[in-house]
Amino acid sequence: MRLSALLIAAVALGAYLAPFNPALAQGVSDAECQRLRQRLTEHAKLSDGVRRAVATQTGAAPAVSSGTTPGPVPPTGRTGAIRARLEQIPKEREALEDQRLAAMVKLDLTRAGQAQAQIQALDTEKATLERELAALPPSPPGAAAAAPPAAQAPAPDAARIRCQDMPAAVDSAVKIRRRELGAREDQAAVIPLVGLKGQTAEQIGQELAAQLTSAPTLGLLDADGDGRLDGFVDVPVPGVFRLFRQKADGTLGVEVFAAAAGGATAGYGELTRRLDESTARQTGQTLADLLAIRPAGPLRALTETAEFGPAYAQFEAGNFADAARLGGAGGRSVGFQNLRGQDVRVVEIISPVPGGVSLRRVVVLAQPNDQELWEETTTVVRPASYLRADVEVARRRETRNASGLVVGTPSIAAPSKFTLER
């Protein structure tokens, strides 16, 4: 008994004298702690809200946002006027985009056309001013333009946060950035992306794979840390990331990356990428339009025929001739919530047509007052050869009430015709 008591006392004394490791006590390894710390730092570089949260947690002085940071003397003369105008244009363009979208929802095509014309005029003005600014002589020292927010306000020192507090700190940062980018903070499938530093497609694919770990998932990209959405990433087929990005000329680009090093994107072919990109450009779709019909949470599979899966897989892979060999029509319907928390239903029907294949997609988006926006897109692809395919896209939009009756006049766009080449 005495020996047993001595052993117990020795163990207790040793535990008391041993250095306390909070990371181990809370189940956070050193490696995981460092990974979370780095992720928190990356989020803080892109978000004023995260910087303030980290500063509050560490007791440091809050990082000063771009609006109040004492900077160099602002440029004057023509250079200053151009830079001031270039700062105003994005805000005006965003407001016009909102007006255009609202007009289209209300089927006010005249107002939508006016807003689109104003947007094009702003894009032309921006390009002209940028060319003029590049031709002007360099500004003297002290008259340089202010640095971007991320460069002006360095992230607070995340190393001062204890390891056991890192999971909660990163979770809080993600929620802050979700709110800043227009999502709800509880949408776990929506991932605010940190900066993509990769120089090759393979490197970017690995970075995306490290950040987008759940499926279905939606990644939101704010490349400049200005709180505005520059693009988003979804997963069209397992192991493949599809990036929709707003380009400098205002058009949408589609890029594809494999999740694994040396991985292939055969499940989502090059012709399909070109089809998605060309369709968005031909129909004038914006990032907001595309985000509204992307799942930001679990899919609810409603119905699916046996013929649909194999044919749709061939269509996504760009094997349109093989997809056209379907004996008859196949279809499926799914439901989900989008980024704004709206209920969305999607019905897709794939069927052979003379010389090719047709994919008809009907998106039903819940609207206020028990109404629904129905957007129907029919894409017909006729392969001319292995390297080339002819495409025709037709779109129709209409609003329906709770009884399924059409409200107002449907909007029917003229079919867009274009050619895809590998």
Q: Write the pLDDT tens digit of every residue in 183-238.
A: 988 898 999 999 888 888 889 999 999 898 766 789 999 988 888 889 999 999 88
CA pair distance 330, 83, nearest whole angstrom: 54
What is the per-residue pLDDT for 19? 42
Is 133 buried (19+), middle (13-18) or exposed (0-12) by CB count in 10 A?
middle
Q: How confident is the model at residue 89 (pLDDT cuts 50, 70, 90)?
A: confident
pLDDT tens for each residue of 134-148: 776 655 444 343 444
Does 329 score more than 60 pLDDT? yes
Residue 295 in contact with residue 338, Cβ under 8 Å? Answer: yes
- Give the residue-averaged pLDDT of 31-56: 90
Does 272 score more than 50 pLDDT? yes
What is this structure's pTM? Answer: 0.69
What is the per-residue pLDDT for 140? 46
Q: Which of 202, 233, 206 is nearest to 217 (CA)?
A: 233
What is the per-residue pLDDT for 154? 53
What is the per-residue pLDDT for 130? 78
| Stronger pLDDT, 222 or 3, i.e. the higher one | 222
What is the per-residue pLDDT for 234? 93
| Stronger pLDDT, 374 or 116, i.e. the higher one | 374
User: What is each CA distance from 301 to 1, 164, 241, 413, 418, in whole angstroms?
Assistant: 66, 39, 22, 30, 33
| Stronger pLDDT, 83 or 319, i.e. the higher one | 319
Residue 287 in contact with residue 246, Cβ under 8 Å? Answer: yes
Among the residues of 292-378, which ranges form H helices?
Answer: 308-316, 320-323
Q: Which of 3-7, 21-25, 326-330, 390-394 has the highest mean pLDDT?
A: 390-394
Each domain of the chain, given as residue ranges in start order, spans: 77-145, 300-421
| Residue 284, beta-bridge partner list | none
| Stronger pLDDT, 274 or 151, i.e. the higher one | 274
pLDDT tens for each residue of 117-175: 787 887 888 878 777 777 766 554 443 434 444 444 455 677 888 888 999 999 999 99
Does 63 score more than 60 pLDDT? no
By percentage, how much of the chain surpasses pLDDT 90? 36
Q: How confident is the model at residue 327 (pLDDT cuts 50, 70, 90)?
A: confident
pLDDT tens for each residue of 348-400: 999 999 999 999 999 999 888 889 999 999 999 999 988 899 999 999 999 99
By percentage, how much of the chain surpasses pLDDT 70? 81
CA pair distance 229, 101, nearest whole angstrom: 16
Pairing of strands 218-221, 190-192: parallel
What is the per-residue pLDDT for 353? 94
- Give the residue-averaged pLDDT of 7-28: 46
Does 404 score more than 80 pLDDT? yes
Residue 419 in contact with residue 389, Cβ under 8 Å? Answer: yes
Residue 391 in contact with residue 358, Cβ under 8 Å? Answer: no
**How many residues belong to the chain?**
422
CA pair distance 72, 140, nearest whole angstrom: 11
What is the per-residue pLDDT for 150? 43
**E-assigned strand segments in 65-187:** none
Structure-token pair, residue 422? 């590998």
| Cβ neighbours around 18 below 10 Å, total | 8
Q: Which residues contact 261 (CB under 8 A, 6 or more apart)?
A: 202, 205, 206
What is the per-residue pLDDT for 62? 54
Q: Return the H-helix or E-strand segment holding 242.
A: strand 240-246
- Give the residue-averaged pLDDT of 104-112: 68
- Give the residue-averaged pLDDT of 72-85: 64
Q: Which residues contact 67 (CB under 8 A, 6 or more apart)?
A: none
Peptide bond into 216 cis (omega under 30): yes
